[in-house]
Amino acid sequence: MFWITNWISAFSLNAQLPAQDSLLRLLDAHPQQDDRRAELLNGLAFLLHTSQPDQTLAYVDEVIGFVDKLKDKKKLSSAYSVKAIAYIVKSDLQNAEMWAKKSLEIDQRIGHKPGIASNTSNLGLIYYRQNNYPFALLRFQEAAQLFKETSNPNEIMMYLNMSAIYAETKNFRKAEEYIQLARSRNKQVNDPRLDGYALLNLGTLYTDEGDYQKGRIYLDSALAVNQKTNDQSNIAKAYGNLGSSYAKTHDYQRSKIYYQQALAINTTLGNSRSIAVNHCGIGESYLMLDSLLLAYHHLSVSRATSEQLHAIDIQRDVSQNLSRYFEKTGRLDSALYYHKQFLLLKDSLDNEANRKQLTRLELQYDFDLKEQEYIQQQAISKLQIKQLWLYGVLLVVLLISLTGYLLNRSRIRGIRLRNEMREKELSQQAESLLLQQQLSESELKAIRSQMNPHFIFNVLNSIESYILENDAKSASQLVQQFARLTRLVLENSTQALVSADREWMCIQLYTQLEATRFEHSFDYDFQVEADLNLTEIVLPPMLIQPLIENAILHGLRHARGYRGMLSVSIATEAPQTVIISVKDNGIGREKARKLKTNVGYKQKSMGLEAIHERLALFKLSNPTSTTQLEYLDPEENGTEVRLRLPLIRREQYPIGGVKAS
């Protein structure tokens, strides 16, 4: 569903622009490259931005071409702003953000408030299109405040933009509240454009809530209003939303027709994002009508375009429909792949952190509004005191008393608010400290399981044996291996995540020492997937070693009549998952349980308990990640343990970085 969020140019905040023909005549009559020609070019560019965005870019580029001849910097700022708007229409959000920031920088430098407000609003729209809702809401709130301070009617548009964000995050009550606020304010302005926007958002809101009949009434009204104002972009949105509404009631024939009408307009406008949405809707309609070849064509176009735009919400819907398509055509592996892509993209959009940030921003916005109202009230009170002084001392005394009462109430309210904020802060700090303590205890258990006294004693015993046998070379090699292992364990234990190549070296050294301890009674093999670069990913430290220790102590050392073999491998299982396998051909878990000794039982418990605790804490710190510890018992001898962890690259590591290897 399309929600109306519109761009604003500082140029459009001025008086009504002349018609296109008039501007062209004035432009032909004024060939000099100066402020007047820049004003005419900017006006013509803004007039054409929705219907001819490429021509808009040509006009503003001419202004930018004679920037050295401009005396009024607001003309250059307007050119940058209109250029950003043209790129928004074309869904080129990267260029749109760059030019909006350039325009904002000039307006801030010269103190041009209307320009600051419009560019702040446009940045909010760009962040909204990028699904960055917290940043978008913050920019719309700032712009609304700036427009309100200058009594500019575009304050109404900011409320509509905010309503779209709350609707996208399923806060329909808040969305409707802002739409009704916008309609109420528009009664004073009586702008048919704004009424068309509000009607379209109301129709979209009721459709999203499941009231399709009421939603279509508002969408039809919005279509009629936007046709009167000849707003092609919003006409296309109305058609697209009607298509979505009929799709939700399974009237796919009518849905397809509306989507095709929207696609025709958006193709003329060059609006890539809307084109991708329309293709997705048409593809879904054909899919449900069992026109599978046409469905696949439109879904493929939508997928390619949405990937170019990095539009996660469109990619999510396309992935869901492609999964249905492949299921219908019997290609279940592809159906499963796209279903997983759909779930992954859906989770990224439903991020709880975004919702919490939106709530915080809303509370801050409400607080700032109340604070500003209070400041304004104080100014009014002081003015009243000066005026009432002429009427007598008694009235002045009464006003001072009233002011004191209001100040005292405000002070008490401020103290109460600060206390509540302090309590929340202390509660969050306590939760953070508790999690840190649990992590530290888990790390200590992991170090104990990896460097337990029994293991250290056996290594030292082996070194002593080589020395007594005058095998200085072997003794030296063993000392070096033990020293490197000790250093790696201590260094890795200081990090929540470590480079995978360091952890891999650590378990190799440990296995070599254990093989020496058991007089090389078993072979071992370490395998890394060919395309996997261990230096580029990170892992939680000290998770793999207890699995190797368990395989040796409870499997391989009891093997009789054949050569023991330990295989350790690491590979990627899915785009975002790494799988680590520890496999032995020992006696297997069932026989090991019958043979276990008290010492063996304690060692096993400490190692595996540490793994489960660290996985649980890792999941707590990374709630969207996938972790799994799986035990497999082959038909023949032995045991295989598979550890699944999220694939985290070094540049994505969010907690302070990874220690260099």
Write the CATH number for 466. Answer: 3.30.565.10
Which two structure tokens, joined as six digits, stand for 124? 């909010």
pLDDT score recorded for residue 622: 73
Bridge partners for 565 per DSSP? 523
pLDDT score recorded for residue 311: 81
Instruction: Show Cβ contacts of residue 20 under 8 Å, excluding neighbours closer than 6 positions.
Output: 44, 47, 48
pLDDT score recorded for residue 599: 43
Instruction: Show Cβ contacts of residue 542 under 8 Å, excluding neighbours closer than 6 positions.
Output: 443, 446, 447, 449, 450, 489, 492, 493, 610, 614
pLDDT category at 351 given cuts 50, 70, 90 is low
Average pLDDT score over the chain:
82
Report the domain count for the chain. 2
Q: Is residue 224 part of a domain?
A: no
pLDDT score recorded for residue 133: 83
Q: Is the pLDDT of residue 616 over 90?
A: no
Domain boundary among 149, 167, 192: 149
Q: Where residue 17 sits, what CATH number does that domain have?
A: 1.25.40.10
Give the model confidence (pLDDT) of 163-193 as tens digits: 888 887 788 888 889 989 988 888 888 888 8
Give the model confidence (pLDDT) of 236-280 as tens digits: 999 999 999 999 999 999 999 999 999 999 998 888 889 999 999
Q: Is the pLDDT of residue 83 over 70?
A: yes
Q: What percent of the chain has pLDDT over 90?
A: 39
Q: Beta 577-584 vs 537-539: how paired, if at all? A: unpaired
Q: Is residue 66 part of a domain?
A: yes
Place of tokens 């001898």: 637
pLDDT category at 352 given cuts 50, 70, 90 is very low
pLDDT score recorded for residue 660: 35
- Domain of residue 546 covers 445-652
By mean pLDDT, which of 81-85, 327-331, 435-439, 487-491 is the weakest?
435-439
Domain boundary among 149, 165, 196: 149
DSSP 8-state class, residue 637: S
Q: Is residue 208 part of a domain?
A: no
Place of tokens 């329909």: 172
Place of tokens 């074309």: 90
Say if pTM beats, i.e. exceeds, 0.85: no
**Backbone phi, psi, residue 130, to 5°:** -90, 5
pLDDT score recorded for residue 659: 39
Give the model confidence (pLDDT) of 509-519 as tens digits: 999 999 988 88
Mean pLDDT of 343-351: 79
Give the model confidence (pLDDT) of 353-411 as tens digits: 455 455 555 545 554 554 455 455 655 655 666 666 667 777 777 888 788 778 878 77
Domain boundary among 112, 130, 149: 149
By mean pLDDT, which of 53-57, 206-210, 313-317, 346-350 is the weakest?
346-350
pLDDT score recorded for residue 21: 81
Q: Is residue 535 part of a domain?
A: yes
Q: Is residue 175 part of a domain?
A: no
Other Cβ atoms closer than 10 A to 14? 12
Q: Is residue 566 part of a domain?
A: yes
Give the model confidence (pLDDT) of 15-35 as tens digits: 445 677 888 899 899 999 999
Q: Is the pLDDT of residue 585 over 60?
A: yes
Q: Is residue 93 part of a domain?
A: yes
CA terminus-to-terminus distance, the chain: 49
pLDDT category at 123 given cuts 50, 70, 90 is very high
Q: Is residue 24 part of a domain?
A: yes
pLDDT score recorded for residue 620: 72
